[in-house]
Amino acid sequence: MKRLLGICMLAGCAAWTGFRAARDLRRRERTLGELEQGLALLSRELGLAAPPMDELLAKLAGQSAGAARTLFQEAGKALEQLDVRSFSEGWAIVVQNLPDLQRDSREVLAGLGQVLGSYGGGEQRQALDAARKELGRLREAARAEWQRMGRVYQAMGLSGGAFFLILLL
């Protein structure tokens, strides 16, 4: 009985691993979409009123969802620590701590820390729009990878689970 339970657990773990890999691909695509929408909101707000950065980040945190909300909330906290580090350093730390991002998307976001709050509204919006377009391109690539590889990972997980089940029974 214990052996059968162990075999079933091993098969289930193999299947779960495949489904989790597919879910991680989907989550990365969704995170990039949330960040793209958040940057669009930030660009729009800078074009309309250009309030102080702390008020702007607090407002955007309330209007955003998921990774964009986390980004704006944590960037607001980084603003409170300007006596310890510059905003660009705090922004870079916030970006590095965002989950579900790869190196290329982190680099795109980290570059915004040098521009936000340091230049005029037009330059900030231009940098935001360029970053948003690059995140959109990365999101489309992540979506294509999820559509192409998601089912492969699921099938591999199920196949691996079935292999272990047959091998050990």
pLDDT digits (tens, 9 = 90+) for 90-128: 999 999 999 999 999 999 999 999 998 777 778 889 999
Q: Is the pLDDT of residue 165 over 90?
A: no
Stated pTM of the model? 0.85
- DSSP letter at 56 equals H
Pairwise CA distance, residues 27 & 42, whole Å: 22
How far is 38 from 69, CA to CA, in rounded Å? Answer: 8
Domain boundaries, the chain: 31-150
Q: What is the mean pLDDT of residues 21-32?
A: 94
pLDDT at 80: 87
Q: Which residue would you say has higher pLDDT here, 20 or 165?
A: 20
